[in-house]
Each structure stands twice: as C-alpha cells, then as structure tokens.
Amino acid sequence: MNLVILGAQWGDEGKGKIVDLLSAEYEVVVRYQGGSNAGHTVMVNGQKFILHLLPTGILHTHTVGVIAQGMVVDLELLVEEIKQIESKGISVRDRLLISDRAHLVLPYHKTLDALLEKRGKIGTTLRGIGPAYMLKYARKGARVCDLWDKDRFYSIIKDNLEFVEELCKKVYCEDFQMKVDEVVDRALESFEEIKHCITDTSSYLLNTKKSILFEGAQGTLLDVDIGTYPYVTSSNSSALGLSAGTGLPPKFFSNAKFIGVSKAYATRVGEGPFPTELKDEVGQLLREKGKEYGATTGRPRRCGWLDLVALKHAVDLNGLDGIVLTKLDVLDGFGEIKVCTAYRVEDKVFKNFPASLSLLEKAQPVYECFEGWKESTYGITNYKDIPEKAMNYIQFIERFLGAPIVMLSTSPERDKYIWLSEIIHGRKVASSDIC
Ligand code: IMP
C-alpha cells in the first residue's frame, strides 16, 4: 500500500524525520511539488542531514528517489546536495530519477523573487520558487527536457532574460543584466552531472510494482489554493498537488494511506495570518525550547498554540487517515496549555477555516485550556511513559479532528517515536490499549 505524508500546518512540522523513519519500509520515495524552499532535517546516527531538493527517503540506500514533474528544480543546488550526501558515503546518482517535465529554477528567478518581495512582502525563502512557477504558468518556463536541446534551451533563456529585463526596468525601475551564455553554461554544467538520471518519471511510477512513499513539502496552510492566500507558497502543498505533481491519475491514490504531520503547537515563517500566534514570553519560550529557526533560511519562526480549526481544515481537505504528532516534549513543564477550537470575529464564531484574509486577520482564537504535565516526554519510546495529562491533550485533539493520532515523535533522532494506532501496517499498539 502506498503512503502519502503531508504537512498539516504551515510547514516545518517535522516531516523529514517521519519520512526518513517510514521510508525504511518503502522502495520508492517521491517529491512532487515545491523546490529548494523545503528544508527537511534528519538526524541519522548523530549526523545531521538537511535535504532541500532530494526526497528525504533517499538516505535509505535501498530506495529509488524520484524528483517528479511538479517540482521546480535548481540544478546547481541539487548537484551540491547530491555531492554532500555522496561525500558521507551514501550513493545517490545511481538511484535517482529526475522528471524530464520538471521546471528549472535559474538565477533570474531568484532576482525576481527578491524584487517581488520588495513590492509586497510574503516573506519567501528567496529561492526563486514563486517566479519559477509564475513563468511555468505563463508558458515561458524552461524544463529539464529542454537541456537536451541546446539551441532550444538557449532561445528559452534568451526570451526569459529579455522578459525579466523589461519587467525589472518598466515595473521596478531597476537595472537587470544577466548574460544568456552564463545562465546557459552554468545550467549545462550541472546537467552534465545528472543527465543520466533524467527520465519520464510518471511512466516509471505508473509501471513500477514497488511500494511508493510520496513526500509532501511545506504544509497544507501554505497551499496556493487552500492555504492562507496570498501568504502561501506557489504550489499545491496539500494532497491536491499529488496528481498533477506526479503525473499520475487521481485514481492511482485511491488505496493509498494519507498521513498528516503536525506539531503539538503551531509555527509559521514569513508573513501572513496566524490566529494563535503568541507574541509574548510564552511564544518566546516555545521558540527557544522548540529550536524554532528555519532550516532553509535560519529565520526565527513565529510560534503559538495549536490551532485545531486550521488542523481540521487540513484533515478534511487532505482526507487524512491519521496524524503524526511531533514535538510534544516542547510543551513539557508548561503550567497551562491552550488549544484553539474556533475563531471569533466581532460577534460571530467560526468553526471552519475561512478563505477570506480579512476574516483570518481579525480572527480571535477561542481556546480550550488544559493543565500541563511536569514529566519529560523527550525521547520516550513506550506509550506507558506518556503522562496522563499529555494523553488527555492528545485524546482531545483526536476527538476534535475525528482522526487518530497514529504516532508521537519524541525527539529528532530516528528511533525516538511511539506508535499509538495501527493504520499503516503491522503496528502492534491500538489507542484503545492506552486509555
Ligand atoms: P516561497 O515558497 O519561498 O515562495 O515562500 C512562500 C511562503 O512559504 C513563505 O512564507 C515561506 O516562509 C513559506 N515556506 C516555503 N517553504 C517552506 C517550508 O519548507 N517550511 C515553512 N515555510 C515555508
């Protein structure tokens, strides 16, 4: 049975570790949207790996890694990332497949990202992601397959650079100069390093008999269609992106299991509405205890209480079969823990996640309060060690969401987790045993 792992909040939920852990049981691991804006951190034997473009599951040497068509790929960074992992003794290029339909991120996309940020701040990662998707949908993008035909590639880049130059001059009153030959040569240099990995990945995925794990990047609330638009990323980072991003028919996923990853509290980086954000010392404490600094940009993350209105939105629209809850230990020692169950805007109460930015910006969280626990949950691996008060918190979340919490991740290390419920395959513990 195939498995889909998605971020259920604003990204940075700890998907890296979960994918790394679960991909031990899968043969193919796939990334299908976003690009180097992602930063999946994994600790293996005390060694820290941060993956931006490669599927995290590639750290297991038995897997085939796929970069599918919905991604936007910065080839220079990809080659760098591959070489870094290979330098640690893990082979990559002999088991990596890169879609010939994926779009490229090139230096001018990053220039444009910075310029767009000057005009209306989203707080992007400045990795050129938005502009790469922008030119893709404007039907001007350069794809991986174009690199096979140098003349064609050259003319796409020439056209792109003329377009960007004009945009910079006329809209932003900024000078822009980038040489076609330089952009082309740099891209071709990287292409030489990975060209034997390029293939029709949809066809591979459709025909393989191997078990597949699909790795979502970012999170549902950053999805361009169902997230906090316009403060989102430029791809479908929810389950909505699976079919287009992999090039597989929707019914391919009808038997897959869908798992969402959520922290026991909430964070977001960049701008945009965040109803449960704590701008006080409690938020500061969450940031320090949770080491909430971006893996890609190093920016401090905004922190707040768990928002169940937003999480329920993610459960419903992704069709989640279960949730993996991460970083519960960050809440250890808090006297009181709050969780948002509705939003109040003036005299109206909202139980559903609103589309309107005006509503989201005004939304005041309605909280349910829980007594905290004193015991440490850091690194525990036995469900009997979960404090009763922590279990009350977990069970409240499950009841509210109507979806089980299937696993707790209790530290960044690969082996520190607890299965709570059997939904993927072969897990021994049922949540009913725990009550
Ligand atoms: P972009 O994807 O770089 O265009 O950034 C758009 C928004 O998504 C910004 O608020 C970023 O901080 C956020 N974002 C993008 N990738 C990630 C991620 O992997 N984790 C968390 N936030 C992200």
pLDDT in tens, 302-357: 999 999 999 999 999 999 999 999 999 999 999 999 999 999 999 999 999 999 99
**Ligand 1 pocket member 228 (CB < 6 A):** no
* CA 394 to each of CA 10, 96, 295, 406: distance values in angstroms, whole numbers, following the listed order: 20, 38, 27, 10
**Cβ within 8 Å of residue 9, ≥6 positions away:** 219, 220, 221, 262, 263, 266, 267, 268, 307, 310, 311, 314
**For ligand 1, what atom is nearest to the CA of residue 124?**
5
- Residue among 245, 253, 257 at smallest CA distance from 217: 245
Q: By the 8 A CB rule, do 232 and 222 touch?
A: yes
Backbone angle region of 163, left / alpha / beta, with phi > 0 → left and psi within -120 to 50 → alpha: alpha
**Ligand 1 pocket member 124 (CB < 6 A):** yes
DSSP code of residue 419: E
How many alpha carbons fall within 13 Å on the CB side of residue 366? 13
Local structure of 74: helix, strand or coil: coil
Helical residues (DSSP H) of 88-237, grouped into ranges: 107-119, 129-137, 150-172, 180-194, 201-207
- Residue among 262, 213, 260, 264 at smallest CA distance from 239: 260
Q: For residue 96, how far is its CA from the centre of ligand 1 (angstroms)? A: 25
Q: Considering the chain, what is the average pLDDT of its residues?
A: 94
Q: Which amino acid is at 346?
A: E
pLDDT above 70 (res 432): no
pLDDT above 80 (res 434): no
Closest residue by CA, ligand 1 atom 2: 233
Structural domain boundaries in the chain: 3-99+197-253, 104-193, 262-433
Tell me, what's the pLDDT at 414?
Answer: 84
**Position 49 confidence tier, pLDDT thresholds 50, 70, 90:** confident
**For ligand 1, what atom is nearest to the CA of residue 272?**
10
Joined tokens for residue 238: 């929810």
Q: Give the dihedral sign, CA 387/392/397/403.
A: positive
* pLDDT, mean of residues 379-387: 94
Tell me, what's the pLDDT at 422?
Answer: 66
Distance of alpha carbon 427 from alpha carbon 96, whole angstroms: 30
Closest residue by CA, ligand 1 atom 17: 218
Terminal Cα-to-Cα distance of the chain (whole angstroms):
29
Q: By the 8 A CB rule, do 278 and 305 touch?
A: yes
Tell me, what's the pLDDT at 165?
Answer: 95
Q: By the 8 A CB rule, do 22 and 215 touch?
A: no
Tell me, what's the pLDDT at 430?
Answer: 42
Task: Provide the pairing of β-strand 3-7 with 212-215.
Answer: parallel
pLDDT above 50 (res 296): yes
Distance of alpha carbon 134 from alpha carbon 105, whole angstroms: 11
**Ligand 1 pocket member 227 (CB < 6 A):** no
* pLDDT, mean of residues 389-393: 97
Distance of alpha carbon 285 from alpha carbon 332, whole angstroms: 11
Distance of alpha carbon 58 from alpha carbon 51, whole angstroms: 10
Tell me, what's the pLDDT at 425?
Answer: 53
**Ligand 1 pocket member 213 (CB < 6 A):** no
Distance of alpha carbon 290 from alpha carbon 267, whole angstroms: 10
Tell me, what's the pLDDT at 277?
Answer: 98
Distance of alpha carbon 434 from alpha carbon 430, whole angstroms: 7
pLDDT above 70 (res 201): yes
Tell me, what's the pLDDT at 50?
Answer: 87
pLDDT above 90 (res 45): no
Of the candidate CATH numbers 3.20.20.10, 3.40.50.1000, 3.40.440.10, 3.10.129.10, the domain formed by 3-99+197-253 belongs to 3.40.440.10
Q: Write out pLDDT tens, residues 122-154.
A: 999 999 999 999 999 999 999 999 999 999 999
Ligand 1 mutation pick, 50, 72, 125, max ligand atoms within 8 A of CB: 125
Place of tokens 């004193």: 374
Looking at the DSSP assignment, which residues form a beta bridge with residue 47? 44
Tell me, what's the pLDDT at 196?
Answer: 98
* CA 94 to each of CA 66, 331, 376: distance values in angstroms, whole numbers, following the listed order: 12, 42, 43
**Position 279 confidence tier, pLDDT thresholds 50, 70, 90:** very high
**Ligand 1 pocket member 105 (CB < 6 A):** no
Q: Write out pLDDT tens, residues 358-374.
A: 999 999 999 999 999 99
Tell me, what's the pLDDT at 87?
Answer: 92
Tell me, what's the pLDDT at 427?
Answer: 46
- Residue among 56, 58, 2 at smallest CA distance from 34: 56
Classify domain 262-433 at the CATH topology level: Adenylosuccinate Synthetase; Chain A, domain 3 (3.90.170)
Quickly count helices (H) and strands (E) in the chain.
13, 20
Closest residue by CA, ligand 1 atom 19: 38
Neighbours of 83 (CB within 10 A): 12
Place of tokens 């005009």: 119
Tell me, what's the pLDDT at 40?
Answer: 86
Closest residue by CA, ligand 1 atom 8: 233
Active site positions, annotated: 12, 40
**Ligand 1 pocket member 35 (CB < 6 A):** no
Tell me, what's the pLDDT at 253?
Answer: 97
Write down the CATH number for the domain with range 104-193: 1.10.300.10
